[in-house]
Amino acid sequence: MSTTPAGLTTFPVTVHEFLPNPDSKKPTHIYEYGVSNSTENALVFIGGLGDGPHGVPYIRHIASSLTTTSLGYTVFEVRLSSAFAGWGTSSISKDVGEITCVVRYLKKQLHKKKVVLMGHSTGCQDCVAYLLHRISHIQQRMGYREEEHEGEANSEEEEEFPEIDGIILQGPVSDREAIGMNMPREDMEEAIKLARRMIREGKENEYMPKDKLPVDMRETPVTAYRWDSLASPRGHDDFFSSDFSDTEAKDIWGPLNKPVLVVPSEEDEWVPKSINVADLIQYWSQFCRPNVYSKLSGLIPGANHRVDNDEGRRWLADRVLRFLGEVEKGIEIASRRGTPMSGR
């Protein structure tokens, strides 16, 4: 007989196994809470660096709360190749490719009507990147034609880059600024210079020397590319830093064409004390189109990065459910003439 340690629990999930592409030989897995395919919509949860399926407990509270509503959403957790220790050898673009396969499966095989992505920590970058990549992809296909066509996709494009209906960003923090909390500036700059030299020499997929990384990252192999992406100003992972210029912030927030709920933690230990997060998210919001940035956005009261407090989990679940309700009603997003993306 086995026993569950105090504070832990058991919970059932349905494992979905599918081939991400017709020519794939290795299956992908996603995990569904509740009765399999019992709802018409999906909330897809994506964790942060070092996370994997079932590693962030608050999502189970949200999944349970959804069963008490008529919103018709079920929570799915994804197993990306960047999960757990895999983050050190992966990339945002690779995550986006794998998330695309998940969304395609949900829509084509499970016939979900609406799909909303929810990210925690670095998973927030994946959510924003998915939207930016999709917008850029369609704009390039359209040749940046008339404004009224922006964001539209034909059946071929929808198959290649399926549409989602909104994103939720919980704990969107700057990895660069978080790393700087635990690493002297001169050591960080030296490690970035080394990574860039390795990249120039064609060694972007080789591992960084462990003694050049922060102590809390030394247990995971980290490539020169991923270190540069995470630690460098305007690296591919640099979405939420507090020192962006207006132009840089607009490049991220301006193109978004789906509703966005932004819910940072009030007491996030990975945010430098010098940063006023309430002011920061208000700053981001001014670059969004009308009706993109949800008025439900705000700081999760008393919460640390993973929202371990009961009050914070209840508050977060309430905001997520209300946001999904807004998505269900449909939100008219103002159009804006397309401009080429910045290459993120």
Of 187 and 335, the structure prediction assigns the larger pLDDT to 187
pLDDT value at residue 23? 80
Whole-prediction pTM: 0.91
What is the longest distance spanned by two Cα atoms in the chain? 66
Encoded tokens for 132: 């930016």
Span 83-124, pLDDT tens digits: 999 999 999 999 999 999 999 999 999 999 999 999 999 999
Over its C-alpha atoms, the chain yields an Rg (Å, rounded) of: 20
Distance of CA 167 to the CA centre of its chain: 8
Looking at the DSSP assignment, which residues form a beta bridge with residue 16? 30
Query: Is the Cβ–Cβ distance between 299 and 333 less than 8 Å?
Result: no
Q: pLDDT-based confidence at 156, cuts 50/70/90?
A: low
Residue 31 and residue 14: Cα distance in Å, rounded?
A: 6
DSSP letter assigned to residue 83: T
CA–CA separation, 32 and 325 (whole Å) = 20
Cα–Cα distance for residue pair 42/101, rounded to 1 Å: 14
Q: What percent of the chain has pLDDT over 90?
A: 76
pLDDT higher than threshold 90 for residue 236: yes
Angle 189-217-75 from CA coordinates, rounded to 5° = 120
Contact 300, 318 (CB under 8 A): no
Sign for the pseudo-dihedral over CA of 67, 71, 74, 77 = negative
